[in-house]
């Protein structure tokens, strides 16, 4: 897992329906970059997915007891 660049963030935002300009993509990259760098040493070893797109689904699943 590597720090996303503004060039990678723009199309991801567009697909999500939130188009951003170059300045905003750079700000996003700068703000989330440290988190990616912090997890880089253990990336791929964690028992969960760092990509948050499925979090709302996981949070609303009803588990039967």
- pLDDT, residue 49, reads 55
Q: Is residue 1 part of a domain?
A: no
pLDDT band at 6 (very low <50, low <70, confident <90, very high): very high
pTM score over 0.75: no
Token pair listed for 3: 């720090």
Question: What is the length of the chain?
Answer: 65
Distances from the Cα of 16 to the Cαs of 9, 10, 11, 13, 63, in angstroms? Answer: 11, 10, 9, 5, 28
Segments in the chain forming alpha helices (H): 6-15, 22-39, 55-60
Range of the domain at 44: 6-62
Number of domains the chain is built from: 1
Measured CA to CA, the distance from residue 32 to residue 4 in angstroms comes to 8
Tokens of 54: 């499925």
Residue pLDDT, tens place only, 21-62: 999 989 988 988 888 778 777 766 766 555 556 666 666 766
């Amino acid at each position: 897992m590597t720090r996303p660049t503004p060039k990678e963030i723009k199309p991801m935002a567009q697909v999500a329906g939130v188009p951003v300009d170059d300045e905003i993509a750079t700000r996003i990259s700068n703000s989330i970059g440290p988190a990616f760098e912090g997890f880089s040493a253990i990336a791929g070893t964690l028992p969960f997915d760092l990509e948050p797109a499925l979090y709302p689904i996981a949070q609303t699943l009803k588990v039967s007891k």
